[in-house]
Amino acid sequence: MTSPFAGLSAFPLTPLPGDRLDEPAFARLVRRVAGSGVDSITALGSTGSYAYLTAKERARVARLAVENADGTPVLVGIGALRTSHVLRHADDAAAAGAAGLLLAPVSYQPLTDDDVLELFRTVTERSGLPVVVYDNPGTTHFRFSTELYGRIAELPGIASIKIPPLPADPAEARARVEQIRAVIPEYVTLGISGDASAAAGLASGCDAWYSVLAGTLPEPALRIMRAAQQGRAQQDRPRDGQAEDGGAEDAAAESERLAPLWRLFAEFGSLRVIAAIAEELGLVPHRSLPLPLQGLTEVQRTRVADTLDVLGLNG
């Protein structure tokens, strides 16, 4: 079995129509994603709106995810304002049968590097589950330095680092990946986020893709991921002469085909767009985002529906 900290990890929505957790809709999303063949499912990531849920709701979502994943490894987000709350979420995730934890440094007051290091130290000392470091400055407003990556990655139990999008220039992207790898243990994987740049991140040496898209539309994400993996396998296979690089090119082509969708992500935010997609496809009820998030307007939703038609993703 593929490691849950490599390959494609799908981040499903947590539907909350009427400010109530829709358990049947969430379970259907998880079963849909698990049946597609993704390598792992991450419940309660940013796409799963973890910060808006109560502890009881989060524990229930973690259990529903594991129960409906049909053996696909489930990672569970545990970020919270207080360390004691983080530890409670870690315990609930373990009780649910999670394969690992996703931890973002969430705070109201600005955090220092030492604050964040001690948070991860406490969690890795208290929980027996592997931990993914969640670097998401767009939501947490905390930026990890390369040095801090290295300090945290040395802690026992750190399995992966979910990094923000890489520079657009391929040489700069590869250099950034190599810079991070130089300070972390070999067994710690690097996972790219930012779906539009996933193919480039995988081509630059990332091991995993932590994906918003895959939580609702896993098939196009899998085409990108499997093409990238095929390219890496070709490069690793001993050959006479130059290794082929067709896989990376195929992954880039699959990603470019989704450019209209990536433009919507950039314009409106991936969470609002993916929620509109899930609603348009009837996977979750209308107005599924937690209040006060309003979702897209009707005009914007029409653009999303038209994009699904153009890309053939509305079936």
In a domain, 315, yes or no: no
Number of domains present in the structure of the chain? 1
Confidence of residue 231 (pLDDT cuts 50, 70, 90): confident
Largest Cα span, the chain: 61
Instruction: Find all residues with CB under 8 Å of 308, minimum gap 6, and list them.
Output: 277, 280, 281, 314
Residue range 212-221: average pLDDT? 98
**Is residue 296 within 8 Å of 273, Cβ to Cβ?**
yes
Q: Is the peptide bond before 292 cis (omega within 30 degrees of 0)?
A: yes
Contact between 62 and 96 (Cβ < 8 Å): yes
313 found inside a domain: no
43-91 pLDDT, tens per residue?
999 999 999 999 999 999 999 999 999 999 999 999 999 999 999 999 9
293 in any annotated domain? no
pTM: 0.94
Whichever domain contains 107, its CATH number is: 3.20.20.70
The 10s digit of each residue's pLDDT in 100-123 is 999 999 999 999 999 999 999 999
1 in any annotated domain: no
Q: What is the mean pLDDT of the chain?
A: 95
In a domain, 14, yes or no: yes
In a domain, 307, yes or no: no
Query: Domain of 218?
Result: 7-247
Q: Mean pLDDT over residues 28-41, rounded?
A: 98
Neighbours of 27 (CB within 10 A): 16
**Is residue 201 domain-resident?**
yes
Strands 40-43 and 131-134: unpaired
Distance in angstroms (rounded) separating the CA atoms of residues 312 and 147: 44
Say if 54 falls within a structural domain: yes
